[in-house]
Structure formats: structure tokens, C-alpha cells
Amino acid sequence: MTSRPQKIRWGILGPGSIAKSFAGGVAQSRTGELVALGARNPGKPGLAETFPGARILDGYEALLADDGVDAVYISIPHPGHAEWAIKAAEAGKHVLCEKPLALTAFEADAMIHAARKAGTFLGEAFMYRLHPQTLKLVELIKSGVIGEVRMIKSSFGFAMPGFMPEHRLYANDLAGGGILDVGGYPVSMARLLAGAAVGQPFAEPDKVVGAAHLGQSGVDEWASALLQFADGIVAEVSCSISLNQDNVLRILGTKGQIEVPDFWFAGGNRDVGPGRIDLIRPDGSRETISVNETRHVYSFEVDGAGEAILAGRQEFAWPGMSWADSLGTLRALDKWRAAVGLEYEIEKPAKRVNTLSGRPLRKDGKAIAKRAIPGLPKPASVVALGFEDFRTFSSGSILLDAFFEAGGNLFDTGYVYGAGYTETLLGQWLRSRGVRDQSVVIGKGAHSPLCYPDVIGKQLAQSLDRLQTDHVDIYFMHRDNPDVPVGEFVDAMDAEVKAGRIRGPFGGSNWTMERMDEAIAYAERTGKQKPGALSNNFSLAEMLEPIWAGCVTSSTDDWKAWLTARQMPNFAWSSQGRGFFTDRAGRDKHDSEELVRVWYSEKNFGRRDRAIELANRLGKSPIHVALAYVLAQSFPSVPLIGPRTLDEQEDSLRALDIKLSAEDVAWLDNGPERRRA
């Protein structure tokens, strides 16, 4: 006879009302048992009675260190979710985390990254998603009983007795307000139903617009948003902490509608929800459908998580919240918050002084090696980080911290990036982390159409103000203007060197070989500092035509010879061919206009074929080989990478393990003789 699987031994991180409800769910679950509680105040009266059978441990660290605990339920206020979920994964614990999974999708992505690396389960505790009512609701939508879904309306709002600055719902430092506390319910439900209407697990809105009232403490006290989906479905969602709402989910179709009261409790409370669904036909007649559930409402998520853990899965099975589902909901909440200008003080540089895991920044990373660059007085990491996609300090600092902790200290910015926000973000991070002296900052200015000598100093002054520093370490003109004598540009950059605002090499981004030669010759004649660096496109795949107007590639044979002869450092953008070495490209794939226009040639496909062959031999990916190729040149070649997530960054760094010989480089370039065993 097959023995019954061992139960998951749960520990609760942080006592509270929701933790008490979860404990009730564990007690009535099939797969779990409550064994421990981690509390900051373990002597608080009533803990033993509220959590019967649980060992009361002194602090959260003690819970994570307990070998008798398999999985942790995190029920502390929102700002602690990411820190303790990451620490729990590092301790080898499975995690079920109360909603919202994190403050932002960027934080949630970092939590997922930690769980993926640890091989542990991570789930977001939207309890309603595992209740049988939700599956019944999806079945009704798929059956077509109300025809085609056109609109979804849902609210989750209540009124606190009054403004209570000490309460977590009003506390800015605890990420209070309705959007994060209860807004995720209608948003996640709308995404689920919009997906069900088209036969998908969930759907992502094409557009999110929002409005809110921000109260005395700066948190949203009532808010609404519109979500528009690609198939024409529109969702109206609202939430509140200072306003009672009807709290009914309405699904409007072409042949009727569905109403569900308090769907997050399945029409009940924190103990039992029978699951009531009202079907309203076009003639106004009603039919009430109930799943008649009597089990504890929290037992379903306990068993959903337990079954996943026992099966060796790292995320919930549908209709539970998968990682992609949680990220999608948080991205919608991020857009909602951005639309109403809601950024918490704890997300800003003054208070976010540690890494997301709650620890000070480590400054001894060795995963990314450093190298000397001619003309640069301090060593720079072999790859440079660009981060143009980030628009908040809390999001961008996650990647900056990880890059620096891996040993990276070279950062690529530009005056025009993000209308100046990239420079502002980097400046905030450098000051917050206290690592300006250890860092190498690339500045760029004088982009078209403002590509004139007198613009260089003016824009550099603005850049330095944003960067909160008095100099950049490397400077590039972002474009060239052939109508201006090159000597005028050299004079302008040399003047910034003499003023101490450029303290390393300067040069051109997207400059031609002839223009660089002319600029160097001018500097030699006049005793000025010579242009000593380039930032042109360079990749194993040769750019056939400019990605953007005014761009220059240095991937041709004559350019390689020139760079080698000059030993000119090139800081290579689009060093991995912008997706050409991934599955997005292929001789039979023409979905991406940019890939086809810029990279598709038989010569480039031959290089791609050889990169794939070598990657298979090395147990790597073709994009790793492509990045290793850029690093292995016979001149100083520094690739600029632009990961958007920790997974992407860590994946890019796998290329650093590949050491290509000159023969390997030549073979990747031109074939046909195989040199590497």
C-alpha cells in the first residue's frame, strides 16, 4: 500500500488577523500542519492560544533557521514581503506570501528570481483563486451562457472609522492605501475573466488609466481604474479604505450578465464561503448558482501550495496565481499607481538605503572581472550596464545593486535617456550606496539635433547635476555633426577635461572612422587631448543598415583592423544583435521588421549557425557566445548590456565563463575550419 505523503510543515512569519485565518485554513487542510510562528514580540499575550500547536519563536530569522519548518507563510505588512521572501528562499524554505506579492512587479521579479535559484516554491496568497467558486465562474464564462464578455465591473471598498495615521492602511511607510491592499483583487479577477473569455489562463490589458484621491498621509483612500484588453473587453475597477462600496463583481455579456458578491470571500467570511453566483438573463430573470462549499476558505490555498510543493513545482497550478499571473497583476497596479502619482516614501532613495533583501550593499563582488582601459585612471568592469527602462528608484536600484554586487562598476548613461531620468536614477543610487569613487560613469551628450560644440558643456553641467557628481569618467558625443569642423568638438571636450569635468577618455558614439582619424590628427597638431574611445555598434552579427538614424556599426573587417591598429576602446551597443541570436530570429521567421531589416543576411546567418554550434558544445546559449565574441577582440572591447530583470542579467553574465581564442573568433566570423575541440 502506498504511504500517504508527509504533510508540509508550515511556519507563519508575523502574527496578525490574516495569519490567524491562515492558521485556521492549515488546520482544515489535507496537506499541511502548523508547527511554528515567528514573532518580533514572542511574549505577546494570546499567541499560544491563537496559534495552537505552534512553537512561538523569537523573530523571523529564527523561523527561517528552524529545520522543522518546510514552508513559510508571510503575513507581515507589504514592505517586508520581498525582503523576507528572498531570505526565506535563500534559507531553502518554500513561501506563500500574502498579497500583494510585492510593492511592484520589479520587486516580485526579484523574489521569483530568488525562488528559481533556490528551487523553492513561491506563491501569492490570493485565497479566492483556489476556491471552487472561481473555477465555476470561469466555466460559466467559457460556456457562453452570457454570450461574449464585453465589460467587467468590480469594486472592493470599505470605510475605516476615520483617518488613523498609526494604522497600516494609512501609514505611508507601510505602503498603505487601497490600490495595494485591495485593488489587486478586482484587477486580478478582471485579468482572469478576460483571459477565460478568449480561452487563456489570464489576459494582460493593453491600457491602464487610473485616478485616485491621495489623503493626508499620501496614500490612496479611494481610487478607480480602467483596463482595456485587446479583444475589446473593458474592465472598471475601484477600491477604497475610506469609502464603502457595493463590492459586487459584475460581468456583462451580449446575452446576459453575472453578479458575484464579495468574491474574495466567496460570498462568506474568513472562515466559510459557500460560493454564490447570480446569473441574470436578458429578460431580468435570475438564477443563483452555488458550489455549496463548507470547507475553511483558506484551506484551499494551503492545499494548492502544498500540492505544488509535494509535486516539486515552484508555482501554483491554475487557477492559482502563477508567477506570470502575479507579475501581470502587479504591472497593472504599477501603472495605476503611476497614473495617480503614488510613490511611497519607503521607495525613495532616502529610505531605501539597503538592497531589496534588507542587507547593505556588498562591495567585494568578483563574478564580473575588471580591466584597465587606456586613459582611465581606475579599472572598469568588462561589461557596462545600461538601464534605460527604469522609471523609479525602487525598480532601478534592484538591478544596479545586483550588478555592483557581482563586481560590475561601469555604468552607461546619456543626457537624452528617459528625458534625463536615467542619469537622475544613477545619481541617486551612487549617493545612496556611497560608491561613486568605486564606479566608472559614462556620460553622453550632444545628440542630434542639438549636436554642436557649445551644447557639450551646457548638457554636461545638467548631467552632472542629475548624477550628483562633479565629473564623468568617460564621455561620448552621442552623435556627430559633419557640418561642424571636428576641431571645434575636440576643443569643447578638451576644455571639459581641463575643467576636471571629464576625468578619462572622451570620443564619439556613432562616429565614422574618417571623422575619428581627423579628430585625432587635429588634437595631435594642437596639443589637445586626443579622442580615446568610441561607442559604436559592434556585434558578431554585422548591422546591415542603421537601427536608428545616424547610427554607425564597427563590425566590418576594415573597422576591426582600424580598432586593432589604434588599440581604440569601443563600448559596443547592441552587442548581442538585439535578439538575432535568440529564437526570435531565423531564416523562416519574419515577424520582426527590425530584425529582418537590420540583421538578416546569409553572412550573418552563417555566423549565427556557428554560434549555435559552439553554444551546444559548451552548454551555453548562442547569445552567450555572441557576447563572448565581443569580449574576445584584439582591441579593448567593452559590451554594453541592458538587462531588464535579474534573470536576464545573470544569464548575460554566463558569457563571462567563455574564453574564446583568436582561432575561435576567426571561425565565428568567417568559418569554415573548425578550430575548437
Instruction: Report yes or no: 309 and 8 within 8 Å, Cβ to Cβ.
Output: yes
Edge-first strand order for the sheet with 71-74 is: 55-58, 32-39, 8-13, 71-74, 94-98, 122-125
Q: Cα–Cα distance between 575 and 435 in angstroms, integer?
A: 27
Q: Active site includes 370? A: no
Q: Give residue for cell 505588512.
A: 77
Q: Cα–Cα distance between 277 and 37 in angstroms, integer?
A: 36
Q: Cα–Cα distance between 446 and 572 in angstroms, integer?
A: 19
DSSP 238: E
Instruction: Report yes or no: 290 and 62 within 8 Å, Cβ to Cβ.
Output: no
Q: Cα–Cα distance between 663 and 671 in angstroms, integer?
A: 10
End-to-end CA distance of the chain: 52
The continuous run of DSSP H or E covering 34 comes out as strand 32-39
Q: Which residues contact 277 (CB under 8 A, 6 or more apart)?
A: 133, 136, 137, 140, 258, 259, 260, 288, 289, 290
DSSP string, 535-598: E-B--SSPPSS-SSTT--B--SHHHHHHHHHHT--EEEBSTTGGGTTSTT--TT----HHHHHH
Coil, helix or strand at residue 453: helix
Quick one: 501 exposed, middle or buried, by C-beta within 10 A (0-12, 13-18, 19+)? buried
Q: Cα–Cα distance between 48 and 35 in angstroms, integer?
A: 12
DSSP string, 111-122: HHHHHHHHT--E
Q: Cα–Cα distance between 195 and 625 in angstroms, integer?
A: 38
The continuous run of DSSP H or E covering 207 comes out as strand 207-214
Active-site residue (options: 7, 44, 87, 99): 99
Which residues are catalytic, by number? 99
